[in-house]
Amino acid sequence: MSGTAFPPDRYRRITDGLGRLAGGAGPSVLIQAEAVVALEALAHGIGLAGRPVLSIESSRYGRLSTDWLRAAGAQVTALELPDGEAADPQRVDDLLRAEPDTAAVVFTQAEVLTGVAHPVDDIVEAAHRHDAAVAVDAVAAVGGLAAPRNADAVVIGPQKALDGPSGLSVATLSERGWALLGRQDETFASVLSLPYLRHSARDQGVPGTPSVPELEAAERALAAVEAEGIEARITRHHAARAAIREGLRAMGLTPWVAAEQHANTLATTVEVPADADARELAGHAVASGGHWVYGGSTKRGAYLQVSHYGRRATLAHVLGELAALARAAGHFADVGDAAEAASEAWHTAVL
């Protein structure tokens, strides 16, 4: 119906390239809209089966998934986690034992807002032990953390650690993942139907009207990842995580996520000392050239957050954020120690 053309083979290469970065469980589909649309489609499709689902909620996106699953008819057990707390695979195991008919476990691999990263591979193993499929939102992880192994459905968007556009996303599903969506008729057109989208891409090459600028931006992002190497890209994000956490500790502050392996590599959160006002502290840090924002608060107190993904996953960026926070916190004397610790951690990580 349109005059805009985009070569189907390029469309396919973009889909497959992003799908591979997502773990490449099986055939991938490209959604020409923000990743939140792909996430809604996935939750909606899973929910239609009307079976029990375990939804691990570690942020707003987790809560949205619960809503979408329920609205579509699933019986959802929601595992609500405090901000920044990683899911415990044992707890997942227990909940699945309690509800053996659970069709799927749905969760977000890592959060930029709270800085947490869940032990995705352990959760997948636990779920599979109980014959439940696993659907993962990896938007805030892909490119900075290893892709989930053996997950049944993974949704990514290229706008964070991949330095790509925000207007498209990709879902990659294993055979079992596609089976989760078995209630959706692949010939019924709907933005909330991944089976329709797959059918339609197979049929038409490029489903719908291609958004050329978005597709070209995705191509450039993929080319840049290929040039750097996905391993090197992930290592760079790990180095950023190590550097900023060591730097924070050296200046007397405490990372909000205690265990490094549970901390996201794309963003870091830090405890606000009890005697400080969190929003004021963030404001001072921004006035000092940083990008810290008030993250949230729980019973443990309040925390600030800062991102360090994509082209900002550099030692320079980390040092700048540490210096800004040090100045804001009045721990001025500590910026030197922070820089030294951060620099050492960075270089150890990238070796």
Which stretches of the chain bind a copy of itself, using CB under 8 A?
Answer: 1-4, 32-34, 36-37, 40, 64, 67-68, 71, 112-113, 140, 159-160, 165-167, 188-192, 208-211, 213-214, 217, 288-289, 307, 314-317, 319-321, 323-324, 326-327, 332-333, 335-340, 342-344, 346-347, 350
Query: Does 159 count as an annotated binding residue?
Result: no
The Cα–Cα gap between 259 and 261 comes to 6
Q: 139 or 263: whose CB is closer to a copy of itself? A: 139
Contact yes or no for 167/214 (Cβ under 8 A): yes
Q: 132 or 243: whose CB is closer to a copy of itself? A: 243
DSSP label at residue 260: G
Q: 91 or 327: whose CB is closer to a copy of itself? A: 327
Q: 94 or 185: whose CB is closer to a copy of itself? A: 185
- 1, 14, 186, 222 from 208: Cα distances, Å: 8, 16, 15, 22
In the complex, least distance from residue 233 CB atom to a copy of itself, rounded to whole angstroms: 14
In the complex, least distance from residue 75 CB atom to a copy of itself, rounded to whole angstroms: 19
3-state class (DSSP) for residue 267: strand
User: For residue 211, how many other CB atoms are within 10 A of its CB?
Assistant: 17
> What's the burial of 165, exposed, middle or buried (CB within 10 Å: 0-12/13-18/19+)?
buried
3-state class (DSSP) for residue 1: coil
In the complex, least distance from residue 84 CB atom to a copy of itself, rounded to whole angstroms: 16
Contact yes or no for 229/107 (Cβ under 8 A): no
Q: 150 or 191: whose CB is closer to a copy of itself? A: 191
In the complex, least distance from residue 27 CB atom to a copy of itself, rounded to whole angstroms: 22
In the complex, least distance from residue 46 CB atom to a copy of itself, rounded to whole angstroms: 15
DSSP label at residue 130: T
Binding site: what residues are annotated?
305
Binding site for substrate: what residues are annotated?
305
